[in-house]
Amino acid sequence: MIKGYLLAAFLGIVTIALVIIGTEWPMPSAVAYASGRSLMPSSSTPEAAVRNLGDEIQAQAWQKAYDSLANKAQLTEPEFVRDLHGAYPSLLTYATLANFDVRPLHSSDSEADIDLNLRWSTVVGPAASTRQLHVVKNGDRWQAEWPIVKEPTVPPQVIPVNYLRWDVIYRGPGDDWGAQDVEAPHIRIVDMHPVERAEGTVILGELLNEDVVPAYVTVTATLLSKNKTPLATEGSFDKISHLLLPKQVTPFFIKFPNVALSDVGSIRMAPVSSLIAASADPVIEIGNEQLHPVPDASLTGQLINQSGQIVNVAHVLGTFYDKSGQVVWVADQYIDHALLPQTPVPFQIHIPEDLAKNVSSQRTVVATYSSGGPQ
Amino acid sequence: MKFRLPFLLGGLAVATTQLAFAQGGSMRVPKTVEAGSAFSIQSTGSGQATLYIIGPAQVLKRNVQLGETTTFPAGSLYNAGRYLVVLTAAGASTESDSFDVVPATQPAKLSFLAKPSRLPVSLHDGITGAVYVFDPYGNLIAAPTPVSFELSSPAGTVQKRVVVTKDGAAWTGMDSTAQQGIDKFAARVGDVSSMRVVEQVPGDPCALKMSARQSGQQLQLATDPVRDCNGNAVPDGTIVTFTESYRGGQSTVDVPLKRGVAEVEMPVHSGATISVASGVVMGNQIGWEK
């Protein structure tokens, strides 16, 4: 009986002690919940200020992020949000910031320059961008100046577009048994080349729509062992331009992880095409294409939308050839901003360094998607 | 009803199997009957009986007077196949026999498969046609029947073939002509015909040629009207690729044909080489000096 009283008294004393400790030396999260103040560490250093800004962008706390800026006079909060997510619907519109890091460039007592590397999660995979922030000291805290990139706006206008459009009427239930259906587009693989990489085997190639109608295309490959048993089957997924207009060529890239090329006896290719309603618009010029050698082997260039239609998502596919004209690599990049008419947008496609020395020429195609479906 | 018919057929089959040895041979049925035609069955004996005719998709039942001829009017049996005849009399023997209903000799319908519905011009044996010949009741006529195939182009050229059916089917191959357009592909048996259309489309561009003209800081590039090797205009929407290669760079534009030509503006670069292609067909090259 006495032991029970002692235990109760002990628990009461411990509880009171914990309450006192928690009140006098609270955890940061408790302070935030109790007072409504931020969980972020104070912006006592330039890096901390940029890191706080990154946290607020990640949390989509736009107002807090905007309030923390030093150059609020130069941009409004909606302009700040549009700068991050795009003024027109694009990949970034539906993206979230997965993570970020900061890289100090230089600093003094009153100002600093810091790179903020943003890594977004988009519907087609990760997308990275870097903003160089100038950070200034105001009193006892540092504040970042947001480097606003004002996206050009399209002036109100009417742009006549009279490119061809194809629609399809298939056979109906009322047609007799022998009645024809519309023929699927005729497509042909004009090049195919397996390559062994550290991560497995990849199949590179090019596909031609040799018909006079648009085609929706996919390519599937099956690797067969030397005794003709299937090893694996994979498709090109998005490493292809699915919509091919008449006489258009797309590269394709099929990846077989963890399959060694030495185990492969033969490859069975299955290109599939179907009719699709499509438009010959928009026309995209790929300008100023340049191959850069190692280090940072890449193909750079810019896309110029020559049509009046805003392209929400552009997918750039590069085909790289050696001196004999054989495909040595296929790579791609999604453009995270919308393509406005006559407005250049840069792109950069990276080339594996071990293959870059073999690249002699390249060919680039652009697949575009506008709101309402692929065009 | 679904349950009763198999039960009836099963019962009859068992009964006829048991009695056929003892009672068969006293009923006269035709060996063959043409689908849809009239026929008759002669029985012997006296009294009332029931006659069943059981086939692949039909069952007929008649109350008959034994010793008389039972007549079936035209159209009574129309599905080709083997039919079982069972004559049963109350309290007496059951007799059975069989006969074949064969397709009518007169064709009434053709199932015509023509492939493909769209193909390039000047393709040898590029078009195939297959015909199945049916009688008025949808029975496949297996007897050899001559089928006339005829492919006529808008220019008036006609290709003809006559093929005799084998086991009810006939097929042939035709060449696509040199001129684009909608061809009519007809199959005919007697007065019966069926028609399909085959679209002949231009082939790959031939002798693709472009010209260049400077306009300010832009180079206006335009192809001549794009035609295939037979002179057919390549359809609008076909992609033509312009590539401008200059020192340290390259520009590319995929342009669809519009009104037979492809036009584009590209920036002027002194010493640039401009090439044009469509699909796997290369056109001319232009070297540009300011």
Chain A residues touching residue B194 (CB < 8 angstroms)? 178
pLDDT at B13 over 90: no
| pLDDT tier, A178 (very low <50, low <70, confident <90, very high otherwise) | low
Beta strand A141-145 with A125-138 is antiparallel
A188 burial level (CB within 10 Å; 0-12, 13-18, 19+): middle
| pLDDT tier, B6 (very low <50, low <70, confident <90, very high otherwise) | very low
Q: Which range, of A157-161, A181-185, A260-264, averages the lowest pLDDT? A: A157-161
A76: closest CA of chain B, how far (Å): 37
Are A46 and A142 in contact by the 8 Å Cβ rule? The answer is: yes
| pLDDT tier, B7 (very low <50, low <70, confident <90, very high otherwise) | very low
Amino acid at B290: K
A209: closest CA of chain B, how far (Å): 8
Chain A residues touching residue B114 (CB < 8 angstroms)? 180
Beta strand B239-246 with B210-215 is unpaired
Q: Taking chain A, what is the end-to-end CA distance rounded to the nearest angstrom? A: 84
- How far apart are alpha carbons A217 and B155 in whole angstroms? 34
Phi, psi of A33 (to 5 degrees): -65, -35
Here the tokens at position A118 are 């943003």
- How far apart are alpha carbons B32 and A203 in whole angstroms? 63
pLDDT at B44 over 90: no
Task: Quote the ipTM score.
Answer: 0.78
* pLDDT one-digit tens code per residue, B162-197: 999 999 999 999 999 999 999 999 999 999 999 999
pLDDT at residue A159, rounded to an integer: 78
Residue of A nearest to B113 (CA): A178
Are A301 and A284 in contact by the 8 Å Cβ rule? The answer is: no
* pLDDT one-digit tens code per residue, A281-290: 899 999 999 9
Q: Compare CB distances from B236 to A164, A181, A249 and report the shortest one's residue.
A: A164
Whole-structure pTM value: 0.78
Q: How far is residue A341 CA from its own chain's centroid?
A: 21
- How far apart are alpha carbons B176 and B118 in whole angstroms? 10
B69–A contact, CB cutoff 8 A? no
Nearest to A349 by CA among A284, A306, A290: A290
pLDDT at A13 over 60: yes
pLDDT at residue A64, rounded to an integer: 93
pLDDT averaged over every residue in chain B:
88
Q: How far is residue A31 CA from its own chain's centroid?
A: 38
In degrees, rounded to 5, the angle at the alpha carbon of residue A243 between the alpha carbons of residues A237 and A248 is: 115
The proportion of chain A whose per-residue pLDDT surpasses 70, expressed as a percent, equals 93
pLDDT averaged over every residue in chain A:
89
The proportion of chain A whose per-residue pLDDT surpasses 90, expressed as a percent, equals 70
| pLDDT tier, A372 (very low <50, low <70, confident <90, very high otherwise) | low
Cβ atoms < 10 Å from Cβ of B178: 17
Q: Is the peptide bond before A46 cis (omega within 30 degrees of 0)?
A: no
pLDDT at A331 over 60: yes
Phi, psi of A356 (to 5 degrees): -60, -35
| pLDDT tier, A308 (very low <50, low <70, confident <90, very high otherwise) | confident
- Regarding predicted confidence, which is higher, A348 or A178? A348
| pLDDT tier, B66 (very low <50, low <70, confident <90, very high otherwise) | confident
| pLDDT tier, A30 (very low <50, low <70, confident <90, very high otherwise) | low
Are A166 and B196 in contact (CB < 8 Å)?
no
Chain A residues touching residue B117 (CB < 8 angstroms)? 180-183
- How far apart are alpha carbons B33 and B40 in whole angstroms? 10
Rounded CA Rg of chain B:
35
In a mutational test of the B interface, the residue from A168, A285, A368, A375 whose CB has the highest number of chain B CBs within 10 Å is A285
pLDDT at residue B10, rounded to an integer: 47
pLDDT at residue B271, rounded to an integer: 92
